[in-house]
Amino acid sequence: MTEPLLFADIDEPGLNTLDVYARRGGYESLRKALTSTPEAVLHELEASGLRGRGGAGFAMGKKVSFLPKGSMDKYLVCNADESEPGTFKDRELMQKCPHMLIEGIVIASYAAGASRSFIYIRGEYQLQADMLDAALVEARNAGYVGENILGSGHSLSLVVHRGAGAYICGEETGLLDSLEGKRGNPRLKPPFPANQGLYQGPTLINNVETLSTVPTIIRIGGEKYAKLGVETSTGTKLVSVSGHVQRPGNYEIELGIPSREIIYGLAGGPPEGRQVKCWFPGGSSSPVLTAEELDVPYDFNSLAQAGTMLGSGAIIVVDDSTPILDVALKVAKFYAHESCGKCTPCREGTNWTVKVLQRIEDGQATPMDLDIMASVQEHIIGNCLCVLGDAMAMPIGSMIAKFRDEFEVHIESRQLSPVGASRALEVAGA
Amino acid sequence: MPRPQPRTITFTIDGLEVQAPENSMLVDAAKHGDIEIPVFCYEPKLGNPVGACRMCLVEVEGIPKLQTGCSTPVKDGMVVHTQSERVKTAQNAVVEFLLINHPLDCPVCDKGGECPLQDITFGWGKGTSRFIEPKRHFVKPLELSPLIAIDRERCILCYRCVRFSQEVSEDYQLVLQERGAHSYVTTFDGHPYVAPFSGNIVELCPVGALTSRAYRFRARPWDIEDAGSICTLCPAQCNVSFTVRDERVVRVLARQHPDVDDGWLCDKGRFAYQAIHVEERITEPLVRDGGELRPASWERALQEAAAGLRRAGPRTAALAGGASTNEEGLLLARFMREGLHSEHLDTLAGLDPAELHRLSEPELQATVPDLEFAHTVLVIGTEPVRDIPILDLRIRKGVRRRAVKLAVATPHASSLDAGARLALRYAPGADAAFLQALAEALYGGEVEQAARAAEADAEQLRALAELLRTGGEEIVILYGQRVLAGGGAETLLKLARGLNLHGHDGAGLLAVPAGGPNGRGLLEAGFAPGYGPGLQALPSGETAALGAEGIRAALDAGELGALYLLHTDPLRSELPHEQWSAALESASTVIAHASYLTDGLRAHANVVFPAESYAEKEGTIVHPDGRLQRLRPAIGRQGATRAEWSVIAELAQLCGLDLGVPSGSAASQQLFDAVPFYAGLTLEEIGGRGVRWQERDAAAAFPAPSSGRASAQATRPIPGANGAHPPTPTPISLWDAPEVEFSPSLKFLHRERVSA
């Protein structure tokens, strides 16, 4: 692993203050960017090959270039509604190094020609929002945010907006509706936010980690950044490892290293005497992989080839002490609870799935229910207004496909034993 | 603004080459090839598609994912599949998903038999369900409002009602609460959904979740018949369809006319049908006997009325209003002029027909759709939601979807203020003074002083003038006819000339008639002092033709003996109550056609003939933009009620005049023959959609108005002339009507009026 970029100074005491951040070279990238043209900055971003760190993995430079040219009001929105189960990397970034995000936002807004920006932060992140607010005051006073930044003629307003606790507001168009003061429901796409986003204006939406990477790219240059990682997944990535590992936490890795190295090497693997049963490579919405698939290189394309996705970069490890049914029920309940209810397949499909899983849990199911549930997942995938429905259907579908035996054993043993009997038996039998 | 004129493209759908307008949504484009793509949430009237129900998923070649047909614009050469395995699987799946929480209580559901969910389940569903879990439950049904019941278990969350409330009527009352499968439609804090257009959500609902409380359990679709006609409860003249069961109107639905109502109805139009079948309705002739009105035979009533009219002869006056048809106006005018030799006929509005003549020139006429496509709309002296509700929605649509620049100038705060670029106020009664001040502002005159006379803000007047000058040439002025008094008409014409509205397509004037829902028709049929059919000025006789105010004064002075009231009651109008009460008291004979015994009639009428309700009437009426529309009877006349044209004809006969109308259609024919610019019209041509006479060749026969002609009754006080505006009564609300008062379900909206 090369030197960390985002986490280089992350544990430096006081890094959240402008003083320490500036001493560590903070806002130098902004100065550098503002001395060149927005086109040149955009060129660096495109050259870096940086892919969005929020979940979809769309090339960031390309996204910026999609914004129409012209003098209309353009917006930049930072998606800090980090709500995907297992994901906590943005939290650490905002809490320990808020100025890096602010610097990234100002540089990106310069490239995109945006004059108003917002950080939409998850409501539960109260501490982080307070830290951002404090950092923003410092940045404003220092002239990094506001009118005519550093005499460049570029102006940017920046507002930290706190969400109210809905997962769906992390979906970019749901976020925009919420930011506009409406119920946070996803919008129909097209039009895409780059053309018609916030208040109908062209809008660039990026994740915290993506924007926090921007100063680094400007500092070392896009082409040099692109040399890190592998061809289609450049650079470094923060990975949140959680679940049954000995050293859970955020790790900055170079994309393309074997997943085993993260789970076992960095996070220490499952506790003594336990085995990995399955793992989510990119948050709870990614299809699960098994212990046999631990050597998949951790990058966008390799994971896609393995039938899953890198998503938000949150690895959740499940060991053999946990019945797969518990995992499925937890995941399904989360998405059924968070479904906004706007489109039919997601609203009804997530709800249906929970009810069937609950019935399995209660010993009222037959193996036929597994077929029904698998087909329900197929009916959800690709048919929804946004990706929330898929976010449940993909992992549940993968669990049924990969752990069908365990589900069946569970169904049968449940039918035999009285409801509420000890579960140790079933787990052992799995 | 230029109307959209899409080019026609060719695309392939299910192997069929189909031509459709470019960029129309696939679900609409498919219809050109007779292919139906099922939808629930898609409804173009509600604005942009939302793609929520996912029922319309189709396969478009070149796009990997299935696309929603409701939101995919069709392009040249597109290849679409609606019958592939993939699409069918998705359609089956969506139907299955929609039904898992639906109670399937079709046998007891009002919607059963006319339910899109039933139809689509039948056409695109699998017919089986694999869902065996308990369904979602809600307390039901609940009163969403006194008019609407909501059954949340039946709701498929298509968002139509919420979008209507948020984006069409803009009352912002309906919202969704909770999330996911627990979402439900409600209002903030559970307050009743009371709004002028609330009933539309019942018709929009694609399932039985929102039902009309007035119609609930009254009929099943196989019990009923539909009958198309026109609602004549206000000048908007919306096209409606009466649902009839056993000779009773049990429901009113919109009959969607893009040039009239855009497919919406106000709650009065939707629910006031109930007043057709109430005890308060007059269904037999009444004659005053021993100081009280008592039921009488037709023979006696006709004899009594004829005797009174014969006695008064030329000292008779007639006032018409309400839902009087053109034919009734024409026949009554003929009876008055030819039978009784009286020239005193008018509507209660008492407007100068010479001025109305000049204002109704075809070249100056704006249409209803013009309100939506204009660059600028100026609403002046009228509150559309009160006077002509459906235009309120049309104006909102223009502002919201086509960025029409709206200016509102009224004496009172308007519900359109929120969407207006400019909202101006002036003193009640100062309409003419305000118009004068606007003219000064437009033509660089002395604004300050003129503004002071109207008690308006000079700065805002200048801003309005600027908006009218620079906002684009297509300007529509929607005005209440109240503004015409006291020289307002002259100024309005001057403004129209100055703003170049004359002969400019998409621009012009649109009046909200003050003389009742068919005010324009009555004028064109010749029911106006000194003006015959087709706005032809009559040679003035020995005595001047009196207008409404003249009639009142003459009655008061004992110069007139008899008064004929056709669907109108001065004591239910905004005219001074006491003065009219005295005038009616002085009349020796008062003959009325009425559906309900309103104050003036109860106290003063000698003979009351039962009036047909609008669901029973035949004839024609004229929309404020010149569209002749046809009334067709949906039910038989109630009780002993007779066709009113025949009542007038019989009375004329008894007074020695043969009007020569053997039938209702003969009366219409007489009208078409009498009005030169209706020449050649037939009832068939008017048909179900109506026809604007301005668009026919015969419009050339519109008599050129002689500008500056001394009017028959030009002597009116000019408001503000002596420093004070004349006292003006509060305008009568649409809801202040017997139809509202006597409809069991609308009654709650009625307010007792405090008479001045």
pLDDT tens digits, residue range A39-51? 999 999 999 999 9
ipTM higher than 0.85? yes
The pLDDT tens digits for A78-94 are 999 999 999 999 999 99
Half-sphere exposure of B438 (CA within 13 A, CB side): 33
pLDDT at position B714 is 41
Q: What pLDDT does residue B723 have?
A: 47
CB contact under 8 A, A379 and B68: no
Mean pLDDT of the region A7-28? 96
Asked if B184 is an interface residue toward chain A (Cβ–Cβ < 8 A), one would say no
pLDDT band of A427, cuts 50, 70, 90: very low
Q: Residue B728: what pLDDT?
A: 61
Q: In degrees, to the nearest 5, what angle opens at C-alpha B327 toward C-alphas B325 and B333?
A: 105
Placement of tokens 């050293």 in the chain: A247
Confidence of residue B720 (pLDDT cuts 50, 70, 90): very low
C-alpha distances (whole Å) from B737 to each of B203, B239, B283, B519 are 24, 20, 18, 17
- Name the interface residues of A facing B (CB cutoff 8 Å): 166, 168, 183, 188, 336-352, 355-356, 359, 372, 379, 382-385
Q: What is the mean pLDDT of residues A162-182?
A: 96
- Do the Cβ atoms of B158 and B40 come closer than 8 Å? yes
pLDDT at A428: 40
Q: What percent of chain B has pLDDT over 70?
A: 96
Least Cα separation, residue B143 to chain A (angstroms): 23
**Residue pLDDT, tens place only, A154-168:** 999 999 999 999 999
The confidence score (pLDDT) of residue B705 equals: 87
pLDDT, tens digit (0-9, with 9 covering 90-100), for B501-548: 999 999 999 999 999 999 999 999 999 999 999 999 998 776 789 999
**Does the beta-carbon distance from B180 to A347 stay under 8 Å?**
yes
What the block records as the tokens of A287 is 């299809």
Query: A326 to chain B nearest CA, in Å?
Result: 20
Which residue in the set B90, B93, B157 is minimally distant from A341, CB to CB? B157
Query: Higher-confidence residue: B358 or A424?
Result: B358
SS3 label, residue B594 = strand
Tell me the pLDDT band of B753, cut-offs 50, 70 and 90: low
Measured between CA atoms, the residue of chain A closest to residue B41 is A343
Q: Pick from B96, B159, B180: which is nearest to A339 by CB?
A: B180
pLDDT the model gives residue B736: 83
Q: Which of B97, B131, B137, B182 to mutate to test the interface with A (most CBs of A within 10 A)?
A: B97
Residue numbers in B near A188 (CB within 8 A): 48-51, 68, 71
Do B282 and B301 touch, CB atoms closer than 8 A?
Answer: no
B352-388 as b/e: b if 16+ CB within 10 A = bbbbbbbbbbbebbbbbbbbbbbbbbbbbbbbbbbbb
For testing contact with chain A, the best of B23, B41, B54, B152 (most A CBs within 10 A): B54
**Given pLDDT bands bounded at 50, 70 and 90, which one contains residue B591?**
very high
CA B649 to chain centre: 29
Query: Out of A183, A342, A348, whose CB is closest to B100?
Result: A348
Tens of pLDDT along B346-371? 999 999 999 999 999 999 999 999 99
Please say if the pLDDT value at position B294 is more than 50: yes
Q: What is the pLDDT of residue A390?
A: 97
| Residue A413 pLDDT | 87
Distance CA B555, CA B564 (A): 12
- The pLDDT assigned to A415 comes to 72
E-assigned strand segments in B498-653: 508-512, 531-532, 536-537, 562-566, 589-594, 607-610, 619-622, 627-631
Contact B179 A166 (CB under 8 A): yes
Q: Which among A348, A382, A383 has CB closest to B181?
A: A348
- Residue B193 to residue B201: CA distance in whole angstroms: 11
Q: pLDDT per residue over B623-646, tens digit each?
A: 999 999 999 999 999 999 999 999
**Considering only CB atoms, which chain A residues are within 8 Å of B90?**
379, 383
State pLDDT tens for residues A102-122: 999 999 999 999 999 999 999
Instruction: Write the pLDDT tens digit of every residue in B127-167.
Output: 898 999 999 999 998 999 999 999 999 999 999 999 999 99
Residue of A nearest to B67 (CA): A383
Q: Give me the phi and psi of B68, to 5 degrees please.
A: -80, 120
Among B57, B101, B130, select the one facing A372 at the smallest CB separation: B130
Alpha-carbon distance of B70 to B414, in angstroms, equals: 35
Structure tokens at B264: 């919406």
Which among A337, A342, A383 is the nearest to B52, CB-wise? A342
CA A409 to chain B, closest CA, distance in angstroms equals 22
Please tell me whether the peptide bond between A190 and the residue prior to it is cis, using omega within 30 degrees of 0.
yes
Distance from CA of B55 to the nearest CA of A (A): 9
Nearest-Cα distance to chain A for B200, in Å, is 22
Residue B433 tokens, joined:
């003074």
Query: Is residue B745 scored above 80 in pLDDT?
Result: yes
Which residues of chain B have a CB within 8 Å of the CB of A352?
97, 100, 131, 133
**pLDDT of B711 strictly over 70:** no
Task: Give the mean model confidence (pLDDT) for residues B39-44.
Answer: 96
pLDDT at B544: 86
Interface of B with A in 87-116 (CB under 8 A): 89-90, 93-94, 96-98, 100-101
The chain B residue lying nearest A168, using CA atoms, is: B179
B424-453 per-position pLDDT tens digit? 999 999 999 999 999 999 998 899 999 999
Asked whether the beta carbons of residue A341 and residue B100 sit closer than 8 angstroms, the reply is no
* H-assigned helices in B529-607: 548-556, 577-586, 599-604
Chain B residues in contact with A166 (beta carbon < 8 A): 179
**d(CA A385, nearest CA chain B) in Å:** 7
CA-wise closest residue to A283 among A51, A80, A87: A87
**A379 with B157: Cβ contact below 8 A:** no
Contact A198, A179 (CB under 8 A): yes
* Residue A426 identity: E
What span, in angstroms and rounded, lies between the C-alpha atoms of A215 and A368? 54
The answer to whether B205 contacts chain A (CB < 8 Å) is: no
Site of tokens 């204006």: A201
* CA–CA dist B511, B524 (Å, integer): 14
Do B509 and B356 meet the contact criterion of CB atoms below 8 Å apart?
Answer: no
Q: Global pTM?
A: 0.94
Mutate to test the interface with B, among A375, A383, A390 (most CBs of B within 10 A): A383
- Give the C-alpha separation, B168 to B712, whole Å: 44
Q: How far A218 CA lies from chain B's nearest CA (Å)?
A: 36
Q: Number of A:B CB contacts under 8 A?
A: 96
Q: Is the Cβ of B133 closer than 8 Å to some Cβ of chain A?
A: yes
Distances (CA, A) of B20 to B9, B13, B46, B307: 6, 11, 22, 66
Closest Cβ opposite residue B180 in set A351, A379, A384: A351
Per-residue confidence band for B731, with pLDDT thresholds at 50, 70 and 90: low
DSSP string for residues in B4-54 = P-PPEEEEEETTEEEEEETT-BHHHHHHTTT-----SS--GGGSS----S-
CA B701 – CA B166 distance, rounded (Å): 46
pLDDT at A429 over 50: no
The residue-averaged pLDDT of B304-317 equals 97
Beta-carbon-side half-sphere exposure of residue B417 (alpha carbons within 13 Å): 10
Write out chain B residues lying below 8 Å of A337, CB-based.
179-180
Interstrand relation of B536-537 and B562-566 (parallel, antiparallel or unpaired): unpaired
CB atoms within 10 A of CB B498: 13
B108's tokens: 């007891």
For the stretch B192-224, pLDDT in tens is: 999 999 999 999 999 999 999 999 999 999 999
| Contact (CB<8Å) A345/B93 | yes
